[in-house]
Amino acid sequence: MSLLEVRDLRIAFRTEAVKGVSFEVPANATVALVGESGSGKSVSALAVMGLLDAAASVSGSIRFDGRELLALDRTQRRALCGKEIAMIFQEPMSSLNPVFTVGAQIAEVLRLHMGMGRAEARRRTLELLEEVGIADPASKIDAYPSQLSGGQQQRVMIAMAIACEPRLLIADEPTTALDVTIQQQILELLARLQQRRAMSVLFITHDLGLVAQIADQVVVMRHGEVREAGPARQVLTQPADHYTRALLACRPTLDASPRRLPVIGDLAVIPAQAGIHRTQEGQLSMDSGLCRNDSGRPLLEVRQLSTSFWQRDGWFGQREFRAVQDVSFTLARGKTLGIVGESGSGKTTLGLTLLRLRQASGGSVLFDGRDLLSMPAREFQAYKRRIQIIFQNPYASLNPRHTVGQILLETMQIHRIGADAPAREAAARALLDQVGLPATAWQRYPHEFSGGQRQRIAIARCLSLRPEILVCDESVSALDVSVQAQVLNLLRDLQDELGLSYIFISHDLAVVKFLADQVMVMRHGQVVELADAEALYRNPQQPYTQALLAAVPRHG
């Protein structure tokens, strides 16, 4: 018997986003709704919850336990969704209220839907925090969201969702951007809760690797339509639809080392203009004007680099927190250093310190033989174009008042890239095309794009400066597997043609394996292991590295 039945669901805003979708979620089972950004999977889930904008046109049927949800009024829908049906949203930091403690937010759900008093709600909140695996819940109950890690925030969201013991739990990308070990813990937690509470789960994701671990049934969507549906094992091992096969092929794995990743559709052809052209072999090239280093010495040499923060200790005291501790490595021209580790390992702080966006407390960063940390600000200005960073959060790194075209052209104008305005525009449009965005994006603003699309804009902007070193801080973590493959192929093409060097920071070890020549594993601000990529993946020496590799999801 199906707990949730969706029949011929159609959702339209300005255009039709969901086009006659049908699927079922059986009682006490997990169904994965899989697809890329824009496939309609999250919109379909919001329609079940009744959380779509009032301007949305919704037709078809959504039946929960035999009851037609689309026929309920707002009060009835609200009483049902939150108690009988609950949802874990994708971004816990934007879903949790920053001015209230996590305990107060969970207790509010209990008091609203369960009629509990203040003391009873607090006791139940402590039990829920313990059930979802929050260590020392008595101290965390009065913490604010900003005081918790990403994994802890997601556990709070799960505690809030299961507080009223719902019969259906909708999890919308609940592990996106989490470390592999935390991701594994969240998946195991959801599986335990599903079995213990006899819940049905609708699990929304773009990563088919996760599906194999958690789902009984899979529904694959694209462009608002269902492309394939069936038992998880059958869909993952014997996919019938070519789109499903393409999604499986796009994902990097630990078991293979392809030169290029397959992509859905052919890569667009770049016009031979504006300083961008194709070589005889058909690979991407640019007139970069780089001064190549043929001396044989490393392009970047980091020696005993440390970065500290001062944290409040008591009323008047302070204590030092060493986020990066005595890190050393070298980076050759045209090579990639992958940096992996869990949240709090110091990998992002290390990347920011290299660009002087965080102040180092010790050590040196030699770029082409010059110490970036000790040179005056005016002298360092000339190096800013040569070493660039793609930030982790595309929502905060793009100017909301500029169109995409203005964002790309602004950096090129400041650094005098291109012979004239037409050449700059042609080069910028070509880069936009290469990161998988349509020509119509040129006149649109950042808020009109999904998170993955915004990250593509940030990547295009950074590449427009033709840097020599590119620090990629989780730059593909928010992308769908097909777009991720396209961007990774693009990064490799640029590296081959221009001799670019990458510092590739990621929690995704399969992605790092595809791109990296060397891998550095960090934990608690220190280097745990540093080795050639093939050697490290084949025979990791440290238990921590072994644990990270063991947590990587695999198909099948």
Is 273's pLDDT higher than 70? no
362-367: strand order across its sheet: 317-331, 300-313, 362-367, 370-371
469-473 and 387-390 beta bridge pairing: parallel
Q: How far lies 203's CA from each of 32, 189, 421, 445, in Å?
A: 5, 13, 47, 30
How much is the pLDDT for 28? 92
- CA-based angle 466:177:256, to the nearest 5? 75
Distance CA 206, CA 226 (A): 14
What is the value of pTM for the model shown? 0.78
Is 280's pLDDT higher than 50? no
Residue-wise pLDDT for 72-97, tens only, equals: 998 888 888 878 999 988 777 778 99
Distance in Å from the first CA to the final CA of the chain: 26
Averaged pLDDT for residues 512-517: 93
Is 119's pLDDT higher than 80? yes
394 vs 517, more confident: 517
Indicate the DSSP class of residue 185: H
- Residue 385, classified by CB atoms within 10 Å of its CB into exposed (0-12), middle (13-18) or buried (19+), is middle
Q: Map residue 38 onto helix, strand or coil.
A: coil
Averaged pLDDT for residues 546-556: 79
Residue-wise pLDDT for 305-344, tens only, equals: 999 987 666 677 777 788 899 999 999 999 999 999 887 7
Residue-wise pLDDT for 449-473, tens only, equals: 876 678 788 888 888 888 899 999 8
- By mean pLDDT, which of 140-144, 317-321, 488-492 is the weakest? 317-321
Which residue, 152, 142, 210, 212, is CA-closest to 182?
A: 152
Q: Which residue has the tokens 């000339």?
A: 382
224 residue type, one letter: G
Averaged pLDDT for residues 59-71: 95
How much is the pLDDT for 452? 67
* Contact in structure between 306 and 363 (CB atoms under 8 Å): yes
How much is the pLDDT for 313? 67
How much is the pLDDT for 61? 96
* Contact in structure between 357 and 324 (CB atoms under 8 Å): no
Which range has highest mean pLDDT (34-38, 229-233, 380-384)? 229-233
Q: Which residues contact 105 (CB under 8 A, 6 or more apart)?
A: 96, 97, 156, 160
Q: Which residues contact 495 (CB under 8 A, 6 or more apart)?
A: 334, 336, 501, 502
Show me where the domains of the chain are located.
Answer: 88-167, 395-466
Averaged pLDDT for residues 533-541: 93
SS3 content of the chain, % helix, strand, coil (to 5): 40, 25, 35
94 vs 273, more confident: 94
How much is the pLDDT for 314? 66
Averaged pLDDT for residues 405-433: 89
Residue-wise pLDDT for 7-60, tens only, equals: 999 999 888 999 999 999 999 999 999 988 788 999 999 999 999 988 899 999
Residue-wise pLDDT for 173-219, tens only, equals: 888 767 778 788 888 888 888 888 889 999 998 877 788 888 999 99
- By mean pLDDT, which of 124-138, 329-343, 402-416, 466-480 is the weakest? 466-480
Is 489's pLDDT higher than 60? yes
DSSP characters over 475-527: TTTTS-HHHHHHHHHHHHHHHHHH--EEEEE-S-HHHHHHH-SEEEEEETTEE
Per the prediction, the chain carries an average pLDDT of 85
